[in-house]
């Protein structure tokens, strides 16, 4: 501790022969310890006081505590589920798991889409085309100036204005955009498709390995063997052949109007769509600025030097500028990913059942407020931590590649 | 920005004749610079024209600005119903704007809430002016906020008392954001100093834990907690009302984010400043309060304003706990069966109000940033 | 650090001070809530504040409705003035915490009496001012006549309510499927229904009836005849204060008894003077010490009836005008469920 003292008045004290801490107010080490004890004690005292109140209040008000409720039957319906869920038999634990999965479903898809859109808009802001540059600038300014909640409510109300499923009576379409969401035909999944998928994944690995070998060869000889024919063969031709060899099954599960709703096919609900759409548009406006400033942070000489080597502008961007810009981009991008994940909790306002919404219902049905809030906080802390760890790992990798 | 200028310069250097003034030359350089660019320009141009045409049709030409009253004295929305989807129903805004702006505040006393909004605007304006950046600013803030609360509550000089649960609309939005900032700021400075402290590891640990914990969870979770858990923390018989609870959640939330901004400013300050202060024999508080902190704060004005814009937008989240801020009040106004189906119009008006505030603040932040850059380069 | 310390210290000290000074801690009648209400001179009552017929401010900003009048009953009994009520608007999610924390003295917010709420939420239900049940509101264009035809339907419902659980049960029992749309905000869920996001809007049938009644095109909507659950809505207090519970409960019984005995706000003064019926005399405090036993003024029930009215009057004023039949909510002598034990 004393090693970090920079106060020049203390230089002599440090130079003096080693001595123990003195129990005197003039000894800075002693003073610091007293201060810290006081502050920590005070904070601990406040926390203890609040905790004691809570325990007493829970007792007086006969509120049940503990996590035992997690294995009780939930009884609440959940609109969108990723794992099988039946309100009649499933437990609260499972209901909350559905909520967490729904949050993940929004956050992961949202991160990918907003990165793509944000990068495009960020590059668009630097475009030499006046119209593109101005339009993307307006986009960024407008989207950042409006509360996300307002945007979500707006998109949700627009989606509700779409025609109802019955207005499509007699339609021969296979894609339906109604006030109940977007219904798409789904492929009836059969063994042939599974096998084709397996072959595709194997092909992906093969392409990756071939590309690495090609790069090595380029480093050694200066010429790079063509990658695309191998990729074409492994990724498209081979899977198609496997699928064809197994009888080329191709039947679609087409949505049809039956009773009240469309039945069959896959569906994207307006709640999920509005949430995802709003989050992506909003976050992309921030990511665009990060990408723009990242690219601008790359010295102009780099562009010019790469241009002088005869590289195509896209190649300059991909091979020279972006790798350098990424260094600047990654840290603020990480916090945008975290923001998007946290903002997904606004789902509660438009009826998408994420972890906040399910926990909120839970604490209202069971009265277990502390447990409910704790579940929400732990979930988000875990998400934040995982995203930070992943991005730090990626950042470290990028930094290595660059050198 | 600079890329746009770079774009105009590059061809100018290559072909001097494009440098000639004239819209055609400009368009050639900036809109039709190559086949790809021309196609993009035409496609986007067509889209923009189409969108603007639709917007003008909806918002102005086909819009219903006014509706007659029915015999019962209520507005008659028939013409709006007919125009639904084709033209905007601004008549609904005309009928509801006072509720949107002032919520359930007694109708005849709403001028008081209006003055409060004006006072807030004045406060922001004064705070943005460098000439007021001295000790008087704190006095001005305290004075204005006291007047605002006096006006809102009333109960003196013949002003009827208005209990806090009747406040609503824009004043609530401004109160939450401004008080959140004003009260979170001192706390955030302490946390930032604590986090940078090298001699007090325990304090540093507490500050780090606080900042990371709060920044790791969504504001909604904090509002939730303030709403359902705070009452459990307090002894029997003591409780805050809902607005105060939300305000506490906002302060705790804002302080964590502001602390990081302030910490950034302190870190950006040249080390020599602190060392020089030490050399003068100043103690820690003298050094911090008169040397490092003022300089660091000056550096972080732009990110500070940006953080404030964030809070201003985030106040809308009190919708989830049922506080009547501007967004919630407007949604309540929408529930009136007379104006059933009118929602886009109300959202558009809200968007304009929010955007006006945020755009003004972000332009201000950018101008300060530019000035700071100039100072730095000098 | 000094500043920080004194700040937190100050907060702590003031919190403790407030705790000590709080009237809830004073020793008086033996009921912390009663003492607090009397000291404040005002009853704080939790209502929804947005449901026509139950609690909705009129154009002058005065809270009107059955739930609001239930609050006024208690204020009249305890403070002698039905207007000494402060209404706190609560959502379905924060109503219980508001009561548990003492933010409100009682809840009269269309809250269903269930075992779970009484046993594990620390609440007690003092009386039922409305025997309700979950129903469905649909658009007539849908062509549905009963709830049993609603297999595969999309249903709008507020989360955190007993309706949510009731619908799950109904569909399970009838081996049907439904898609829930769960939005917490009342206005938002009603908008979703009106916009066609869902086929049916489900909540307490009383609320559905009043919602329909306030629509300009009310004939486009149909309230299905099925009532799929029991939803007794009532006065709620927090547990642990039995005296307060008794006061609220017997205030409610007084309104039932008054209707049963034919005492209303118009004839109550007459009754005080001339009635010879011992039941009425005990109710109005001219005989016996019923009020004293509750820790109230002898004229507690007189104040309630004079200032607010008996149960039938409140019902007619708030619910009948919306076109809802009284049905099982009539008093027992008229074939309904409203029954009060004897006041003696």
Q: Which of residues 71-90 of B touch A (CB under 8 A)?
A: 85
DSSP codes of every residue in B130-146: GGG-SHHHHHHHHHHHH
**Picking from A201-215, B3-17, B247-261, which range would have the lowest pLDDT averaged per residue?**
B3-17
For residue B235, the chain C residues in CB contact (below 8 A) are 15, 19, 22
**CA Rg, chain B, in Å?**
26
List of residues 6+ apart from A42 with CB closer than 8 A: C5, C8, C9
Q: Which of residues 18-37 of A touch C (CB under 8 A)?
A: 35
> Is residue B38 situated within a structural domain?
no
Residue A8, pLDDT score? 59
Question: Across the interface, do A135 and B229 touch by the CB < 8 Å criterion?
Answer: no
> In this complex, is the C-beta atom of C104 within 8 Å of any C-beta atom belonging to chain B?
no
**Nearest by Cα to A322 from A301, A346, A291:** A291
**Picking from A63-67, B183-187, B224-228, C215-219, which range would have the lowest pLDDT averaged per residue?**
A63-67
For residue B227, the chain C residues in CB contact (below 8 A) are 94, 97
The pLDDT of C65-82, averaged and rounded, is 94
Neighbours of chain C (3+ CB pairs under 8 A): A, B
Question: Does pLDDT of C17 surpass 70?
Answer: no
A6, two tokens: 């920079």
Residue C26, pLDDT score? 41
> In this complex, is the C-beta atom of B73 within 8 Å of any C-beta atom belonging to chain C?
no
Distances (CA, A) of A66 to A92, A368, A378, B92, C160: 13, 8, 16, 50, 20
CATH of the domain at C161: 3.40.190.10
For residue B217, the chain A residues in CB contact (below 8 A) are 342, 376-377, 380-381, 384
Final residue before a domain boundary, out of C229, C244, C269:
C229
Tell me the pLDDT tens digit for each residue of C87-112.
Answer: 988 877 778 888 887 889 999 988 99
CATH of the domain at B291: 1.10.3720.10
Higher pLDDT, A12 or B183: B183
Task: State whether residue B41 is helix, strand or coil.
Answer: helix
Question: Does pLDDT of C233 surpass 80?
Answer: yes
Neighbours of chain B (3+ CB pairs under 8 A): A, C
Task: Please tell me the total number of residues recorded for chain B in this structure.
Answer: 378
Nearest-angstrom CA–CA distance, A74 and A343: 26
Final residue before a domain boundary, out of C229, C253, C272:
C229
Q: How many domains does chain C have?
A: 2
The pLDDT of C301-324, averaged and rounded, is 91
Residue B8, pLDDT score? 40
Residue A48, pLDDT score? 92
Residue A340, pLDDT score? 95
Q: How many domains does chain B have?
A: 1
Higher pLDDT, B320 or B5: B320
Distances (CA, A) of C277 to C110, C250, C273: 35, 20, 11
Range of B312's domain?
90-377
> Is residue C7 situated within a structural domain?
no
Question: Does pLDDT of C79 surpass 90?
Answer: yes
> Is residue C301 situated within a structural domain?
yes
For residue A349, the chain B residues in CB contact (below 8 A) are 319-320
CB neighbour burial string for A283-311, b if at least 16 within 10 angstroms, e if fewer: bbbbbbbbbbebbbebeeeebeebeeeeb
For residue C15, the chain B residues in CB contact (below 8 A) are 234-235, 238
Neighbours of chain A (3+ CB pairs under 8 A): B, C
Q: DSSP 3-state helix, strand, coil percentages of chain A (rounded to 5)?
A: 70, 5, 25
- Smallest Cα distance from B109 to chain A, Å: 28
Mean pLDDT of chain B: 84
- Smallest Cα distance from C168 to chain A, Å: 6
Question: Across the interface, do A259 and C191 touch by the CB < 8 Å criterion?
Answer: no
> Is residue B154 situated within a structural domain?
yes
Question: Across the interface, do A260 and C160 touch by the CB < 8 Å criterion?
Answer: no
User: Where residue B237 falls among pLDDT bands split at 50, 70, 90?
Assistant: low
Q: Which residue has the tokens 């239930």?
A: C70
> C243 with C149, same domain?
no
> In this complex, is the C-beta atom of B229 within 8 Å of any C-beta atom belonging to chain A?
yes
B271, two tokens: 């080390």
User: Where residue C296 falls among pLDDT bands split at 50, 70, 90?
Assistant: very high
> In this complex, is the C-beta atom of C144 within 8 Å of any C-beta atom belonging to chain B?
no
- Smallest Cα distance from A145 to chain B, Å: 5
For residue B232, the chain C residues in CB contact (below 8 A) are 97, 100-101
> C196 with C108, same domain?
no
- Smallest Cα distance from C311 to chain B, Å: 29
Residue A13, pLDDT score? 54
Question: Does pLDDT of B347 surpass 70?
Answer: yes
Question: Across the interface, do A146 and B358 touch by the CB < 8 Å criterion?
Answer: yes
> C240 with C310, same domain?
yes
> Is residue B81 situated within a structural domain?
no
Residue B239, pLDDT score? 65
Mutant choice from A129, A136, A288, A347 vs B, greatest count of B C-beta within 10 A: A129
Nearest-angstrom CA–CA distance, A188 and C97: 49
Question: Across the interface, do A133 and B4 touch by the CB < 8 Å criterion?
Answer: yes
> C143 with C35, same domain?
no
Question: Does pLDDT of B284 surpass 90?
Answer: no
Mutant choice from C16, C190, C197 vs A, greatest count of A C-beta within 10 A: C197
CB neighbour burial string for A16-44, b if at least 16 within 10 angstroms, e if fewer: eeeeeeeeeeebbeeebbebbeebeeebe
> In this complex, is the C-beta atom of B305 within 8 Å of any C-beta atom belonging to chain A?
no
For residue A88, the chain C residues in CB contact (below 8 A) are 168-169, 172
> In this complex, is the C-beta atom of C88 within 8 Å of any C-beta atom belonging to chain B?
yes
- Smallest Cα distance from A113 to chain B, Å: 21
Question: Does pLDDT of C21 surpass 70?
Answer: no
The pLDDT of C170-193, averaged and rounded, is 88
- Smallest Cα distance from B41 to chain A, Å: 6
Mean pLDDT of chain C: 86
ipTM higher than the 0.90 cut: no
> In this complex, is the C-beta atom of C187 within 8 Å of any C-beta atom belonging to chain B?
yes
- How many B-C residue pairs are in contact by the CB < 8 A criterion? 86
> Is residue C99 situated within a structural domain?
yes
Residue C6, pLDDT score? 36
> In this complex, is the C-beta atom of B358 within 8 Å of any C-beta atom belonging to chain A?
yes
> Is residue B57 situated within a structural domain?
no
Residue A18, pLDDT score? 54
> C125 with C245, same domain?
yes
> C220 with C256, same domain?
no
Query: C86 and C43 in contact (C-beta within 8 Å)?
Result: yes
Tell me the pLDDT tens digit for each residue of A177-228.
Answer: 888 888 888 888 888 888 889 999 999 999 999 888 888 888 888 888 888 8
User: Where residue B10 falls among pLDDT bands split at 50, 70, 90?
Assistant: very low
- Point out the residue among A9, A125, A373 whose CB comes nearest to the CB of B281: A9
Identify the segments of chain A with pLDDT beneath 50.
1-3, 402-403
Task: Name the E strands within A76-116.
Answer: none
**Nearest by Cα to A226 from A210, A237, A239, A238:** A210
Q: What is the CATH number of domain A92-147+269-402?
A: 1.10.3720.10
> C104 with C140, same domain?
no
Q: Which residue has the tokens 């402060």?
A: C86
The pLDDT of B347-374, averaged and rounded, is 89
**Nearest by Cα to C51 from C99, C97, C108:** C108
List of residues 6+ apart from C232 with CB closer than 8 A: C112, C113, C125, C128, C130, C131, C132
Final residue before a domain boundary, out of C182, C198, C229:
C229
Residue A17, pLDDT score? 53
User: Where residue C22 falls among pLDDT bands split at 50, 70, 90?
Assistant: very low
> Is residue B51 situated within a structural domain?
no
Query: B86 and B61 in contact (C-beta within 8 Å)?
Result: no
For residue C188, the chain A residues in CB contact (below 8 A) are 349-351
Tell me the pLDDT tens digit for each residue of B265-275.
Answer: 888 888 888 88
Q: What is the DSSP letter of C147?
A: G
For residue A135, the chain B residues in CB contact (below 8 A) are 44, 48
Range of C313's domain?
29-132+232-332
> C142 with C123, same domain?
no
User: Where residue B233 falls among pLDDT bands split at 50, 70, 90?
Assistant: confident
> C252 with C141, same domain?
no
Residue A167, pLDDT score? 78
Tell me the pLDDT tens digit for each residue of B120-173.
Answer: 999 999 888 877 777 788 888 889 989 998 999 888 888 888 888 788 899 999
Mean pLDDT of chain A: 85
Question: Across the interface, do B219 and A342 touch by the CB < 8 Å criterion?
Answer: yes
């Amino acid at each position: 501790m004393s090693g970090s003292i920079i106060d020049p008045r203390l230089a002599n004290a440090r130079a003096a022969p080693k001595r123990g801490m003195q129990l005197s107010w003039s000894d800075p080490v002693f003073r610091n310890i007293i201060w810290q004890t006081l502050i920590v004690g005070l904070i601990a005292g406040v926390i203890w006081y609040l905790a004691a109140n809570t325990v007493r209040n829970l007792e007086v008000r006969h509120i049940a505590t503990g996590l035992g409720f997690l294995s009780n039957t939930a009884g609440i319906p959940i609109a969108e589920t990723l794992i099988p869920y039946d309100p009649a038999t499933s437990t609260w634990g499972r209901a909350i798991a559905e909520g967490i999965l729904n949050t993940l479903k929004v956050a992961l898809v949202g991160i990918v889409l907003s990165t793509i859109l944000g990068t495009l808009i960020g590059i668009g802001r630097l475009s030499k085309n006046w119209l593109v540059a101005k339009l993307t600038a307006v986009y960024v300014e407008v989207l950042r100036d409006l509360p996300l909640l307002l945007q979500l409510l707006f998109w949700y109300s627009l989606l509700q204005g779409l025609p109802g499923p019955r207005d499509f009576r007699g339609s021969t379409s296979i894609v339906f955009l109604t006030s109940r969401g977007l219904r798409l035909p789904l492929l009836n999944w059969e063994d042939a498709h599974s096998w084709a998928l397996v072959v595709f994944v194997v092909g992906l690995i093969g392409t990756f390995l071939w590309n690495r070998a090609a790069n090595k060869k380029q480093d050694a000889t200066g010429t790079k063997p063509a990658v695309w024919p191998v990729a074409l063969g492994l990724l498209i031709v081979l899977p198609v052949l496997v699928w064809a060899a197994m009888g080329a099954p191709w039947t679609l599960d087409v949505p049809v109007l039956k009773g009240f709703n469309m039945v069959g096919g896959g569906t994207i609900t307006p709640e999920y769509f509005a949430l995802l759409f709003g989050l992506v548009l909003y976050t992309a406006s921030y990511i665009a600025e990060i990408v723009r400033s990242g690219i601008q942070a790359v010295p102009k000489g780099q562009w010019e030097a790469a241009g002088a080597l005869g590289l195509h502008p896209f190649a300059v961007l991909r091979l020279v500028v972006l790798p350098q810009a990424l260094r600047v981009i990654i840290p603020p991008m990480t916090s945008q990913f975290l923001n998007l994940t946290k903002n997904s909790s606004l789902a509660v306002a438009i009826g998408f059942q994420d972890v906040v919404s399910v926990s909120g219902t839970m604490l209202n049905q069971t009265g277990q407020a502390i447990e409910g809030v704790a579940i929400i906080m732990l979930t988000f802390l875990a998400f934040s931590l995982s995203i930070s760890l992943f991005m730090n790992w990626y950042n470290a990798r990028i930094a290595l590649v660059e050198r | 920005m600079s890329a746009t200028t770079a774009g105009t310069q590059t061809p100018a250097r290559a072909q001097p004749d494009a440098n000639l003034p004239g819209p055609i030359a400009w368009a050639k350089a900036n809109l039709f610079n190559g086949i790809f660019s021309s196609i993009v320009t035409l496609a986007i141009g067509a889209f923009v024209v189409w969108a603007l045409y639709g917007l003008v049709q909806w918002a102005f030409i086909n819009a219903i600005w006014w509706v007659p009253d029915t015999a019962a004295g209520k507005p008659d929305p028939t013409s709006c119903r007919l125009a639904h989807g084709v033209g905007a129903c601004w008549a609904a805004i005309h009928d509801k704007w006072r509720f949107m702006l002032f919520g359930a505040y007694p109708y005849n006393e709403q001028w008081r809430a209006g003055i409060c909004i004006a006072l807030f605007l004045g406060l922001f304006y004064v705070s943005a002016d460098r000439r007021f950046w001295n000790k008087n600013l704190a006095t001005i803030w305290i004075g204005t906020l006291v007047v605002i609360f006096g006006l809102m509550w009333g109960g003196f000089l013949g002003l009827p008392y208005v209990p806090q649960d009747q406040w609503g609309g824009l004043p609530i939005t401004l109160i939450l954001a401004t008080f959140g900032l004003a009260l979170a700021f001192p706390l955030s400075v302490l946390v930032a100093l604590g986090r940078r402290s090298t001699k007090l590891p325990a304090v540093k640990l507490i500050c780090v834990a606080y900042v990371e914990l709060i920044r790791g969870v969504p504001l909604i979770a904090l509002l939730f907690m303030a709403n359902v858990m705070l009452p459990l923390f307090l002894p029997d018989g003591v409780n805050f009302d809902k607005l105060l609870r939300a305000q506490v959640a906002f302060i705790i939330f804002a302080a964590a984010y502001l602390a990081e901004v302030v910490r950034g400013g302190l870190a950006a300050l040249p080390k020599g400043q602190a060392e020089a202060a030490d050399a003068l024999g100043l103690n820690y508080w003298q050094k911090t309060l008169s040397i490092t902190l003022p300089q660091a704060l000056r550096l972080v004005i732009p990110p500070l304003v940006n953080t404030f814009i964030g809070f201003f937008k985030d106040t809308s989240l009190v919708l989830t706990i049922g506080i009547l801020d501007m967004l919630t009040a407007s949604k309540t106004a929408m529930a009136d069966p007379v104006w059933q189906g009118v929602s886009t119009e109300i959202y558009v008006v809200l968007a304009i109000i929010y955007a006006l505030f945020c755009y003004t603040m972000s332009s201000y932040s950018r101008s300060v940033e530019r000035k700071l850059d100039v100072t730095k380069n000098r | 650090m000094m500043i920080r310390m004194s700040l937190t210290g100050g907060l702590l000290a003031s919190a403790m001070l407030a705790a000590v000074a709080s009237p809830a801690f004073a020793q008086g009648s033996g009921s912390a809530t009663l003492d607090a209400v009397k000291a404040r001179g005002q009853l704080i009552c939790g209502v929804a504040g947005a449901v026509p017929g139950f609690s909705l401010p009129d154009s002058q900003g005065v809270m009107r409705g059955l739930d609001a009048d239930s609050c006024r009953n208690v204020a009249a009994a305890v403070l002698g003035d039905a207007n000494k009520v402060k209404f706190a608007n609560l959502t379905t999610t924060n109503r219980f915490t508001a009561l548990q924390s003492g933010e409100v003295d009682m809840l009269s917010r269309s809250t269903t009496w269930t075992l779970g709420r009484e046993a594990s939420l620390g609440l007690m239900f003092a009386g039922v001012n409305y025997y309700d049940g979950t129903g469905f509101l649909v658009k007539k264009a849908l062509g549905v006549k009963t709830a049993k035809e609603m297999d595969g339907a999309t249903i709008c419902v507020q989360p955190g309510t007993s309706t949510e659980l009731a619908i799950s049960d109904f569909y399970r029992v009838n081996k049907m499927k439904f898609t829930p749309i769960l939005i917490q905000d009342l206005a938002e869920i009603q908008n979703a229904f009106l916009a066609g996001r869902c086929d049916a809007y489900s909540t307490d049938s009383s609320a559905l009836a009043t919602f329909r009644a306030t629509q300009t095109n009310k004939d486009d909507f149909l309230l299905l005849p099925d009532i799929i659950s029991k939803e007794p809505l009532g006065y709620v207090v927090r547990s642990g204060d039995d005296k307060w519970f008794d006061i609220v409960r017997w205030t409610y019984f007084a309104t039932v008894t008054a209707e049963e005995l034919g005492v209303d706000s118009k004839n109550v003064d007459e009754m005080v003077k001339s009635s010879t019926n011992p039941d009425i005399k005990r109710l109005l405090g001219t005989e016996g010490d019923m009020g004293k036993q509750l820790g109230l003024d002898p004229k507690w029930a007189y104040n309630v009836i004079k200032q607010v009215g008996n149960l039938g009057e409140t019902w007619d004023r708030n619910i009948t005008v919306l076109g809802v039949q009284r049905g099982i909510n009539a008093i027992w002598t008229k074939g309904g469920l409203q029954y009060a034990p004897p006041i003696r």
